[in-house]
Amino acid sequence: MKDKLKERKKEVLAELARIQHDEERANVEAIKAANYESFMSRCQDWIIGQAHAQFDLQDNGQPTPKGERLDGDVLPSCVSIQGNCSSSYPSVAQVTSATSMYFHNVIPDNYRSWFTKRILGATKELMEKVLKSPKCVLEIMGLQSNAHWNNTKYFKEEDIPKIQHEIERAQDEVLGKFSTEELQSCGRLSHGGSILTRHLTARGAIENKENK
C-alpha cells in the first residue's frame, strides 16, 4: 500500500511539473507574441522612421514630443537661462535612444555652424521681444544693484549725486523710446515702480515746459 502511494505521488508530482512547464512555455509564447505586436507598431523616429527595433519612445515628461534629449557638445540637452529664477528649456526630439546617443557623431560641420547661428538668432529674437516690453525693461532696471555706485567705499561723496544723475539720464534715454501711454499701461511693478514714477514725473515736467 505504501509503495503504491509513493508511486502515485511520484506520478502526480511529475504531472504537476509538466503542467507548470506547459504554463511557463505558454506564458513565454504569449510574451513573445505581444513583443511581436509591439515591434510591428514600434515608434516612429524622425530621422529613420521604423528602421530600428525600439518599441516605445522614452517618456520624457513633456506633453509633446515624446522621445530623447539630444546630447552633445554643440546640441545641448537643454537651453538654460541662468539667474535666481533660472529655467531650462529642454531640446527634445522624437527619436530612439540609439539615435540620441549617436546623433551628434554624424552631424557635418556646416550643419553645426548653421545650428549655432540659429540658436544665437533665437536668443537675439528673445532679447528684442524683451526690449520692446516697457514692463520688462523697467523691472530689469529696478533689479540693478546700487552697491557699487551708491557707496563712498568706491566713490567720493561729492561724486555720488553726479553718478545718480548719470544713471537717471541713461534710464530716461531708454524709457524715452516708449510712449507715455505704454509706460502707464505697465500696471503694478515689483522692482521698477520708483523708476517709472520718477521718469514720468520728469517727463511730464519737460513736456509741460515744451508746451508752454
Element (H, E) at 93: strand 92-93
* pLDDT score of 71: 52
Q: What percent of the chain is predicted at pLDDT more than 70?
A: 86
pLDDT tens for residues 55-108? 877 665 555 656 665 554 445 566 778 888 888 777 777 888 888 888 888 989
**Cα distances (Å, whole numbers) of residue 6 to 3, 10, 11, 20:** 5, 6, 9, 21
Q: Please give the average per-residue pLDDT across 175-203, as a whole number.
A: 94
* pLDDT score of 42: 87
Q: Please give the average per-residue pLDDT across 189-209, as a whole number.
A: 85
- Confidence band for 22, pLDDT divided at 50, 70 and 90: very high
* pLDDT score of 205: 61
d(CA 162, CA 159): 5
Mind giving me the DSSP string for 144-186? S--TTTS-TTTS-GGGHHHHHHHHHHHHHHHHTTS-HHHHHTT
